[in-house]
Each structure stands twice: as C-alpha cells, then as structure tokens.
Structure 1
Amino acid sequence: MRTIRMLAPVLCLALALTACTDADAPETSGTAAPDTATAPSAAGSAPAAGTTVPAKEVCAYLEGQLPTLKGIGSETGVMANLTVNLYSWYEKQGPVPSGRQIDDQTRQECPATRTEVLKLAGMESFERL
C-alpha cells in the first residue's frame, strides 16, 4: 500500500511532463512534410544526425548525478528525481530523446554508470521514464 502511495505522485509527474511536451508541439498542416529531426534512422536505433546530445555528455551528466541519487534512499524517489532532472537537462540541450535512445547511448558509452543509475531507480531501462 505504501509503495502505491509513493508511486502515484511519480506517475502524475510523468503524465504531466508528457502532457506538457505534447501541448508544446507545433501543429502541422496536411501539406507540410513530416518532421524527421527526431525520427530513427534506417538502422532503427540511432536518431538522425545532429539531433541528440552526444553520449559522452549524457554519461558525464549521469555520473555527476550519482552522489545525489545515492543519497535519496528510495527507488521511487530516485526515479522521480531522475525523471524530472534528466528531462530538464535534456530540454536545455535540445530535443529530448526517447528512453530507447538514452539506453542505446549509455550502453555503448558508459555501461557501468547506466547500470548503477538504473539499479538505484529500480529500473531495467530508461524507457520506463
């Protein structure tokens, strides 16, 4: 029961963040070309060139967040902190990638940091954010 009470605010926050990003998206007319800036490439896992933060920067950010995340003490709190702060950090850098894109980048660049961050948040993938 306590877990559900702790998880509810996190889910509300995640939904609110999702709603905000959808509300801020520009409307497209039927004649406009689709926006392919964040569409996956033919490989399926890599985004179009120049649209994401380099993996090295993502890993440096996550590495810098580890002391804070370790100090939180609960998986739900870590997940909430990670959701809000990672989203805000990405917004300042440019387009916010999908969880799958973050997973792909961190698996290649900093697998140990990725594993530690996800373990602290009680997650197996950034797709849960």
Structure 2
Amino acid sequence: MRTIRLLAPVVCVALAATACTDTDTPGPGAAAPNNPTATAAASSAAGSAPQGDSTPVSAKAVCAYLDGQLPTLKGIGSETGAMANLTVNLYSWYELQGPVPTGRQIDDQTRQECPATRTEVLKLAGMESFERL
C-alpha cells in the first residue's frame, strides 16, 4: 500500500507532463518530410516574396485577368463576397504567374493599363485600392 502512495504522485506528474507536450509537432531534430507535395506546398507558402530570377506579370495580363473576373464578381452580389473572391483568386493567379506584387504595384499597373476595369473591380469589391488586399 505504501508503494502505491509513493507511485501515485509520480504517475500523475508523468501523465500531466505527457498531456502538455504537443505530439503533432516534430521535435527540433526531426527530419523534413520526404514528400514532394509537402515540399511544394511549403515553398509556395513562402512564395510571396519576389524571386531574383522571376519576371513580374505584365499590366496587360493583369488587366485581362481582371476583365475575365468581372462577370463572377458581378454575380456575387455583395461587396464583402466580391472582396473575398477577388483576394483569394487574384493571389492564387499571381502565384501561378510568378512573384506576387504588392497592392500598390497592382494599383500602378491597372491605373495605367485599364483604369475603367480597375474602377469597376474595386467598386464591386467595395475598395478604393488594391492595397486593401
């Protein structure tokens, strides 16, 4: 009986320590997964910074993409929904093209190349600038 009384606190402390550890997170010495999909996903998550050898998307291509998005944005019917759709789809489109520019860069390109499309897209999304994205 005395052994059980001495072991009970040790077992409780051991269980509490085990419950507090995060078993889903690999330890500091864990190797990176040997999974091309996981590696690609990790690379694309960090892919928002321009790469040294990447070419920025042309203003003409951005405007063509936004022109194609107008029917979808009009069909959504709410500014919040249109902004959410625009944010996700535009970012995803840019990631496929190359470096993702800042909102200011998108504003500059669209002001020069397609001011009417820019105005309509921003109005549908309830924004004054692409810097809000």
State the TM bucket, normalised to the shorter chain: 0.5 to 0.7
Is the 2:55–2:99 Cα contact (8 Å) retained in structure 1?
Answer: yes
| Cross-structure match for 1:91 | 95
In structure 2, how many angstroms separate the alpha carbons of the residues matched to 1:85 and 1:36?
19
TM superposition score normalised by structure 2: 0.62
Partner SS, residue 124 of structure 1: coil
Give runs of aligned pairs for residues 39-54 of structure 1, distance below 5 A: 51-54=55-58
In structure 2, how many angstroms separate the alpha carbons of the residues matched to 1:58 and 1:90?
9
Of residues 54, 63, 82 in structure 1, which corresponds to 2:86? 82
Give runs of aligned pairs for residues 99-114 of structure 1, distance below 5 A: 99-114=103-118
Report sequence identity in percent: 80
Gaps of 5+ in 2: 1-41
TM superposition score normalised by structure 1: 0.64
| Cross-structure match for 1:64 | 68
Gaps of 5+ in 1: 1-19, 26-34, 39-48
Of residues 52, 59, 73 in structure 2, which corresponds to 1:55? 59
Larger Rg: 2
Report the residue type matching 1:91 in the other structure: E
In structure 1, how many angstroms separate the alpha carbons of the residues matched to 2:96 and 2:131?
20
Task: Provide the alpha-carbon RMSD of the alignment.
Answer: 2.5
Distance 1:70 1:21, change over 3 A: farther
